[in-house]
Amino acid sequence: MIIRSAVLEGDVPEADRAHFDRQMVETVLPAIRRYPGIRDVTIRWRAEQEDGAPPVYLTFDLVFGSLEAMHAALASEIRQEVRAELGTIMPLFKGRVYHLILRQD
């Protein structure tokens, strides 16, 4: 199994958090669920910040059966739709986004 984790390291201004979080759940998450071959997707928010840890605001974990399935999903037209959805809300996020590709046996 392959897990592609999107890590949002940074923050959203307090005044925008409820709107940002709602858009992630109500718009972005359902769009991601439409990726071909995706098995599951979860979103997680930081519950607590440990000393020395990077300030991760949230993560998305996308689960695929194989690297090939993940690459096919990322090459799909649906990814462009997801990016468009993200483009409407990401200006509120201050920080960086990166991805981790992990294998779970």
> Does the global pTM surpass 0.85?
yes
Q: Are 3 and 58 in contact (CB under 8 A)?
A: no
Which range marks the domain in which residue 8 is found?
2-103
CATH number at residue 21: 3.30.70.100
- The band of 87, judged by pLDDT with boundaries at 50, 70 and 90, is very high
* Beta partners for residue 9, in sequence order: 56, 96
The count of structural domains within the chain is 1
Per-residue pLDDT of 96-105, as tens digits, reads 999 999 999 9
Distances, alpha carbon 20 to alpha carbons 25, 51, 57, 70, 72, in Å: 9, 26, 11, 26, 28
